[in-house]
A and B are shown apart, each in its own frame.
Chain A
Amino acid sequence: MNDCDAILQRLSQYLDNQLPETELSALRQEAAPRPECLAMLDAMLWVHRSLETAPMVETSRDFSVSVTHELIWRQRRDKILLGGILTLAVLIALTPLLLVVWGGLAAALEPGLIQNALSWAVSLISDAATYAVAALTLLRHMPQWAIVSISTFLSLSFLLLALTLVMQKAPEQLMASPEIHRQTA
């Protein structure tokens, strides 16, 4: 630390009320032989005093309305997302049950139908396995960056699709909400 840095450091302590009032004139005397140091000292003092008297910035905007709107919109968005996830979960959970019920009914009404359905399912699984083996072979020879890129692309596509669906639905419901109109009024 050079002498000027030490003087400026002490000036900061003075500004932080850690040094007595008389310290300022002593600092100015020490800095006086070097104009550049004196200029820095004066500039630091000016910064301090300007900041002390700087006014609060005013805004004419009333944030209470926009915050309330945004809160209601986000709550609805979250509800829609939650509703979508719950619906999907219920559908997934009910699928085996529906299959069993459908199987039972089909067996009762038309005995050959189950056999046909099973053979169709087996061929479907076989085809899917063939495609899976081909895809795995391809992946094995693919560089790592390509796999990462494709995975990222697919993930982002699904995410964007989901977001687009939510964003399309949510504003309509928001605008139609009588709650919003009441609060705006």
Chain B
Amino acid sequence: MNNATASSPPSERECLLSAQKGDQQAFAQIVQSYQRPVYNLCYRMLGNQQEAEDATQETFIRAYTNLDRFNPDRKFINWVLTIASNHCVDRLRKRRINWSSLEDDPYVEKIPMPESIDPHRNAERRETSDQMQQWLDQLSPDYRTPVVLLYWYGYSYEEIAETMGISVPAVKSRLHRARKQMAKLITQSQSSRPLATEVPIPAL
């Protein structure tokens, strides 16, 4: 056997084919390659580190046990992210939280809005990413999934629609509602909290 061939790492396709034949070491390499995006998706969906780790592990186990259904000509990452998002949605639904729609909340409409938004106020006080995650956590699973897939994974509307099993117009509608709900949370936070906890909204 050629030395160069023997020492070169197997390609993703080779790993997948080996894993489909039951090679767990080959699958472990796949896990190492994709654990970061899968964990990020689970964290963004669930908003909790421990639960995200559990969900990540479960996603890969489900991927392995259903590997015979995977078509190696397709992108593995898309397939495994679909499994992850479906699993996270199931977990969120099991939490039995009443995802109250802010669209229907009359309180939100009555909130006095600030006349102008100071672009730099408190900009350095708060980790925007953490705050964004908190607002993301307020969204229902159906709204959260398209947001995560669009902004962190650059999915097209068609890909999101395929992943979620809905139509493209439904994806657009959900994205609009999600953005609007998060915007309402921001304006609500601006008006209901003192300056020290105000959310910075940069210049637009």
Contact = CB atoms under 8 A, between A and B. Distances in A.
Contacts of B152: 54, 56
A30 interface: no
Given A12-B175, A48-B179, A71-B61, A57 B113 contact: no
Nearest to A61: B53
What are the 6 tightest A-B residue pairs by CB atom distance, in nearest-first order?
A36-B113, A43-B183, A12-B176, A64-B28, A51-B151, A44-B183
Interface string B171-192: 0100110011011101100100
A42 B24 contact: no
Interface string A27-54: 0000000011001101111111111101
B120 to A, nearest CB: 13
Contact of B151 (A42, A54, A58, A67): A54
Interface in A120-138: none
B92 interface: no
A64 B32 contact: yes
A49 B128 CA distance: 11
A65 B53 CA distance: 13
Interface stretch (B1-9, B36-44, B69-77, B93-101): B36-44
Given A57-B39, A61-B39, 17 more contacts: A12-B172, A39-B190, A43-B201, A44-B180, A46-B201, A49-B202, A49-B204, A50-B128, A51-B151, A54-B151, A56-B40, A56-B152, A59-B49, A63-B60, A67-B57, A68-B25, A71-B61
Given A42-B117, A46-B186, A62 B32 contact: yes
A86 B44 CA distance: 44
Contacts of A9: 176
Given A16-B172, A63-B31, A51 B64 contact: no
Interface of A: 8-9, 12, 15-16, 35-36, 39-40, 42-52, 54-59, 61-68, 70-72, 74, 183
B11 interface: no
A67 B61 contact: yes
B40 A57 contact: yes
Contacts of B201: 42-43, 46
Nearest to B128: A50
22 contacts: A12-B175, A16-B157, A35-B116, A39-B113, A39-B187, A43-B117, A47-B132, A48-B179, A49-B202, A54-B151, A56-B152, A57-B39, A57-B40, A59-B49, A59-B53, A59-B56, A62-B32, A63-B57, A67-B60, A68-B25, A70-B57, A74-B61
A35 B113 contact: yes
Contacts of B187: 36, 39-40, 43
B39 A66 contact: no
Given A8-B180, A12-B179, A68 B28 contact: yes
Contact of B186 (A16, A47, A63, A66): A47
Contacts of A50: 128, 132
A47 to B, nearest CB: 5
A43 B147 contact: no
Q: Which of B27, B114, B204 has the most CB of A within 10 A?
A: B204
B66 interface: no
Nearest to B131: A50
B179 A63 contact: no
